[in-house]
């Protein structure tokens, strides 16, 4: 059942990365974007075993980088190699780190603390965006702190926290259908049969 649930979480997560192209920055909110995949990544990190968490972080990071990293031709020197703005794969490390840290909260999550997913979603989103901007500043040089930077980093975190209960509910239904024990200890406490 774990494999089936992992497959569902991974598929939804990768679909969220691909469909991110249709979530454009919202001008009314200072150009903030709704990022869906950190919410799913946070959920996967809390609900899946350690190996599944790492696999999810690896696949998400690889696809995210493959679809977003800018690889530019040098232009000036004809024989020079193309230039990556950031190494393809740096998001794997970032997402892996976030996933492992979030996974540390799994025992509490299994006791039915769904609010942890909400907090983890917000924190992951903010850290991902802040890390991207820091990397961008480091590579391009010149510390520029535009007015809308806070909105672009923190508002998506807020959006993620608002969206997380719906994602949690959706996966809870899937977990129930697949007999995957997401709320094992909570069910045990209530005297309900364990779903294994």
CA distance 6 to 56: 8
Number of residues this chain uses to bind another protein (CB under 8 A): 58
C-alpha 9: how far from chain center: 12
Question: CB of 94: closest distance to another protein in angstroms?
Answer: 10
Q: Is 25 in the site for another protein (CB under 8 A)?
A: yes
Residue 72 pairs with which residues in a beta bridge?
83
Q: CB count, 10 Å around CB of 194?
A: 11
Q: Is 8 in the site for another protein (CB under 8 A)?
A: no
Q: Is 2 in the site for another protein (CB under 8 A)?
A: no
Phi, psi of 26 (to 5 degrees): -95, 115
Q: Is 35 exposed, middle or buried (0-12, 13-18, 19+ CB in 10 A)?
A: buried
Give the range of 1-9, 39-47, 63-71, 188-196 binding another protein by CB under 8 A: 63-71
CA distance 122 to 94: 15
Residue choice 27, 190, 191, 196 for contact with another protein (CB under 8 A)? 27
Pick between residue 108 and residue 136 the one whose CB is nearest to another protein: 136
Are 44 and 99 spatial neighbours (Cβ–Cβ below 8 Å)? Answer: yes
Which residue is listed with tokens 């989103």? 125
Region 91-130 residues binding another protein, contact defined as CB under 8 A: 92-93, 96, 129
Residue choice 79, 140, 190, 196 for contact with another protein (CB under 8 A)? 140
The conformational region for residue 75 under phi > 0 = left, psi -120 to 50 = alpha, else beta, is left
Region 159-188 residues binding another protein, contact defined as CB under 8 A: none
Q: What is residue 83's DSSP assignment?
A: E
Give the range of 43-51, 105-113, 162-170, 181-189 binding another protein by CB under 8 A: 43-51
Question: CB of 30: closest distance to another protein in angstroms?
Answer: 6
Note the residues at the interface with another protein (CB under 8 A).
18-25, 27, 30-33, 49-51, 54-55, 57-58, 62-63, 66-73, 75, 78, 81-85, 87-90, 92-93, 96, 129, 132-133, 136-137, 140, 144, 146-149, 152-153, 156
């Amino acid at each position: 059942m774990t494999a089936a649930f992992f497959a569902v979480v991974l598929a939804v997560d990768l679909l969220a990365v691909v469909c991110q192209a249709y979530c454009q920055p919202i001008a009314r909110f200072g150009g903030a974007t709704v990022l869906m995949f950190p919410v799913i990544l946070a959920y996967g990190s809390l609900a899946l075993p350690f190996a599944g968490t790492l696999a999810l972080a690896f696949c998400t990071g690889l696809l995210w980088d493959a679809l977003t990293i800018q690889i530019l031709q040098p232009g000036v020197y004809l024989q020079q190699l193309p230039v990556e703005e950031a190494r393809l794969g740096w998001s794997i490390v970032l997402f892996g780190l976030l996933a492992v840290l979030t996974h540390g909260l799994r025992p509490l999550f299994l006791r039915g603390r769904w609010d942890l997913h909400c907090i983890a979603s917000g924190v992951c989103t903010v850290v991902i965006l802040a890390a991207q901007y820091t990397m961008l500043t480091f590579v391009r040089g010149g510390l520029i702190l535009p007015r809308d930077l806070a909105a672009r980093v923190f508002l998506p975190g807020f959006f993620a926290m608002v969206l997380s209960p719906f994602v949690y509910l959706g996966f809870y239904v899937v977990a129930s259908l697949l007999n995957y024990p997401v709320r094992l200890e909570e069910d045990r406490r209530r005297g309900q049969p364990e779903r294994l």
